[in-house]
Amino acid sequence: MRERPPIPFDAVPILASLSVPERAALAPLCELTAFDKGATIFREGDAADRIYFLFLGRAKIVKSGPERDLILEILGPGEPVGAVAAFERRPFPASAVAIEPSGLISIPETAFFQLIEKRPALTRALLAGLTLRLMSLNRRLADMTGSVEYRTARLFATLAARLGQPRDADVFVPLPLSRQEIADLVGTTIETAIRVMSRWHKEKIVETEAKGFRILDLEALHAIAPEE
């Protein structure tokens, strides 16, 4: 019989604190699933009967709209995916799609919440994480009220803060996004996203590379979209 691969608990901060007996009890309920780039992890409206944790790769949370889709979040390794819906026991309000080859741990929500009920510290950590997630989402929605250039500048400033790798005088964001994905993130058309990115390239603010983006002038982004 093929040996079951170990569950990468240590790759997910909220699961890394589990004791050896707790890991042993939870491991048989965990499923490891690999997703290719572009694969759907779950769809908007699906029952949130499992809670997902990324241990490899990145995923986007996409909300369908009447005119265009809107990317609400981009999640990376160690982060829960769809946790709010599972916690509230309601269908997923948006879809999750892998934006690069990804690996996820999925756990039945009933078993997971039975476990954390016995772990007050784990419960507090999950609630704190969900609260930060909701605050981030509310801020994202507030950011959608400005101009397209403002929203795009906020996007890249946020990506620089979360993922940025300082390199000499600039910052590299190791997250390749298509022009369509940028448009979906800021709620605009692909044509407008192309125009903004082309102008920023000429003005040496942001350059596109094969594996991500190089932010050449972070101060210019903050000038376009000042921090509150």
Domains defined for the chain, CATH in brackets: 10-143 (2.60.120.10), 148-224 (1.10.10.10)
Q: Quick check: 134 pLDDT over 60?
A: no
Q: Quick check: 67 pLDDT over 60?
A: yes
pLDDT of residue 132: 58
More confident residue, 85 or 37: 37
Find the mean pLDDT for residues 145-162. 86
Q: Could you tell me the two tokens for 216?
A: 């050449």
* Residue partners of 112: CB distance under 8 A and separation at least 6: 26, 51, 86
pLDDT of residue 65: 76
Q: Read off the pLDDT band of 217 (50, 70, 90).
A: very high
pLDDT of residue 36: 96
What order of strands is seen across the sheet that includes strand 50-56? 31-35, 102-108, 50-56, 80-81
Q: Quick check: 124 pLDDT over 70?
A: no
Q: Quick check: 155 pLDDT over 60?
A: yes
pLDDT of residue 128: 61
In three-state secondary structure terms, 61 is strand
Q: Read off the pLDDT band of 55 (50, 70, 90).
A: very high
H/E element, 62? strand 59-63
* Residue partners of 4: CB distance under 8 A and separation at least 6: none
pLDDT of residue 154: 86
pLDDT of residue 69: 80
Q: Quick check: 3 pLDDT over 90?
A: no
